[in-house]
A and B are shown apart, each in its own frame.
Chain A
Amino acid sequence: MKMSYAQAIRSGFQYLLQKYPNVFVMGQGLWSPWYVGNSMNDLEVEFGKDRVMDTPVSEAACTGAGVGASLCGYRPIVVHPRMDFMVLAMDQIVNQAAKWSHMLGGESHPAVTVRGVINRGGEQGAQHSQALHAWFAHIPGLRVVMPATVKDARDLLISATLCDDPVVYIDDRWLYELEDDLPEIEEKKLSNQVPEILRSGKDVTLAGAGHSVQLCLEASQDLSEAGVECEVVDLRILNPLNVSPVVTSANKTGSLCVVDGGWETCGMAGEVIASVAEQMEPGSRNIRFKRITLANAPAPSSKVLEDIYYPTREKIVDAIRNWKN
């Protein structure tokens, strides 16, 4: 059945709410048709306003309430319609959710899922455009998932919600129109999920997560026409980070370019490259590394500047072409 990325998210919510009475969803704007694209349309009509709760403008209280309810047998999904707003809930995510298992002796597990939506472009500017996945990937105790495909948009939401650990699920509005055929839902344990090779190639390894993966796939098409075959690795899970498939691929191609919609300094791209560099087999050939990230500036509102700010298919193609020449 053909489904869009946004519809796939909704179908994940629908599956969870239908099958698991202890799942509920809360966040700002959940009863509004425009807050989270069409990724949650009418869920409150289908499942009731007790299970799909629109909340006061209180990111910390709402996220903390998800943590607390998860300690008492529930599987809450807390939704932040802009990832930027999660910054107001950092204590609850970083100091509380991520820490309770370890600091209380391994017996307390906040099984909360926090969904943050990356919603860039459209001249929204610096406080409505951030992709802060690297922050959460830095924190032991959190799991961080970043679906790049229609299937993962649905399936990683389900795996995240059924996981006993706190999970940050990050989706991207730029992917909402992406379409694909989806198989029946099969519940999968999040801790068993690994990166996936979405395209095979012998010349260059492209790695990313979320929307960056789609850019890599698009660039790979252009590069293929120019005779450069790229292997595209979708990282899927940023915490705990598993780079083994990237190591294998980079060993094969000899070139690794990591594309990230976040910033460069202390960012995801640098982390992947460093991990690959460390884990290369001794005596293996020298690998060339490159990262394509955001310019080191807050997101501009100006359309003119937005156009040069974000990684694009063309930037990836140019970088690889220059590399190869």
Chain B
Amino acid sequence: MVKASELGILADPSKFTEPLELGGRPKDVLISLLEMMLVIRKVEECIADLILEKKVNCPCHLAIGQEAVAVGVSDNLTAEDKIFGGHRSHSHFLALGGSVSGLLAEVLGRSTGCSGGMGGSMHLFQPEKGFVGSAPIVGGTVPVAVGAGLACQKDGKGNIAVCYFGDGTVEEGMVQESFNFASRFKLPVLFVCENNFYSSHLDIHLRQPSDRISRFAEANHISSQIVDGNDVVKTALATRELVESIRGGNGPGFLEAVTYRWRGHVGPDENIDVGLRRKKEDLLAWKKRDPIRRLKDGMLQANMITNSDYCSVEDSVEQKINDSLEESLAAPFPEESFLLSAVYKSEKDLS
């Protein structure tokens, strides 16, 4: 039994497939948004291939199809902000300017990875870009991000904490605690829910009485916006409004970005019919709401770029990824001594 969608047409993949409206954003900004989405897509496609080639063995949760969310959100962040992710966070990491070779080396388990080869895909770290960390326990980083928001509030410099999570995360008790906690202390935290309708294999309608996640923001008096998460321009704009308010000391904000992942919960395949209700035709329909193609078409229509401009961006992204991959494949695995020396800080200092 499929319940009615409270999200309405945002949940209907036959809608929002046309070229993007560009919102008056300048050409150079739009090109950088486009390029960043391409970086994410192509890095993740590269990782999918590496899994099939058995060069990558750690569990990888790919966000292909969801690129616009991280890119639109990051458009409003600085390296002084404190950003946290979950199990599916390659896009969040890369959208902040996280190192491509750092990510590839990390999923390959190499010591040059962003987490020294100790983390793999689910534990990413690049604090100098604002990415404080990702961790895969569902909801686990939400309280941590709230604490980073508390630190930002105490610092008083206008920085904010950001926490990315999926629609399944609001089913966790500590996440509900975190919403209340952030609201009670008016903490500068942006909660970003990537609502892709699935938690692992299970459809949202089989998990919750409503598919509209931002109802939890309302319950906690947190201002919220719901956007088409496959529209990078609208996502960036909605984030901007929330972030301005958060930086202004008005307490937390909540962005619900409606999107869809093209691959399965984990690994490179599409998970057709693994999940209940995840049908081939749904996936094909959602692929028509492709965030990259829509921005490209919008820019072509506005005569901002030509097809050949697009191809040259694509080529340069691919070149960069190939170079990073080559470098990462040549890098060593972690030293055996790291098994024990990284457990405690002072122990590490002794080694």
A105: contacting residue among B118, B143, B155, B185, CB under 8 A: B118
A105 to B132, CA, bound (A): 12
Bound-state CA distance A62–B144 (Å) is 9
CA distance A137 to B107 in the complex (A): 31
Q: Which of A56, A72, A240 contacts B177 (CB 8 A)?
A: A56
- Residues 235-290 (chain B) with a chain A CB within 8 angstroms: none
A107, B344: Cβ atoms closer than 8 Å: no
Q: How far is the CA of A147 from the CA of B300 in the complex (A)?
A: 69
A253 → B minimal CB distance (Å): 31
CB of B343 within 8 Å of the partner chain: yes
Contact call A64/B178, Cβ cutoff below 8 A: yes
Min distance, Cβ B344 to any Cβ of chain A, angstroms: 5
When distances are taken between beta carbons in the complex, the residues of chain B under 8 Å from A73 are 151, 155
- Please give the number of chain B residues whose Cβ is less than 8 angstroms from any Cβ of chain A in the complex: 50
**Which A residues lie within 8 Å of B144 (CB)?**
64-65, 67-68, 71, 92, 96
Tell me whether B344 and A103 are in contact (CB under 8 A).
Answer: no
Is the contact region of chain B dominated by helix, strand, or loop, or is it mixed? Answer: helix
| Contacts A64-B143, A165-B344, A165-B346 given; does A95 touch B135 at CB 8 Å | yes
Give the docked Cα–Cα distance between A164 and B350 (Å).
Answer: 14
Chain A: residues with Cβ within 8 Å of the partner, total of 48
A70 to B133, alpha carbons, bound, how many Å? 13
Q: Is the CB of A68 within 8 A of B116?
A: no
**A85: min CB distance to chain B, Å:** 13
Q: How far is the CB of A309 from chain B (nearest CB, A)?
A: 31
Residue of A nearest to B120 (CB): A103
CB proximity to B under 8 Å, residues A25-60 = 50, 53, 55-56, 58-60
5 sampled A-B residue pairs with Cβ under 8 A: A53-B185, A92-B174, A96-B137, A103-B119, A141-B344
Other 15 A-B pairs with CB < 8 A, given A55-B181, A92-B143, A108-B132:
A50-B154, A56-B177, A58-B177, A64-B178, A68-B149, A69-B147, A71-B133, A72-B147, A74-B154, A96-B140, A104-B115, A104-B133, A106-B342, A108-B125, A164-B345
Interchain residue pairs A-B with the least CB separation, the first 6: A64-B143, A68-B147, A105-B116, A106-B342, A72-B151, A65-B147
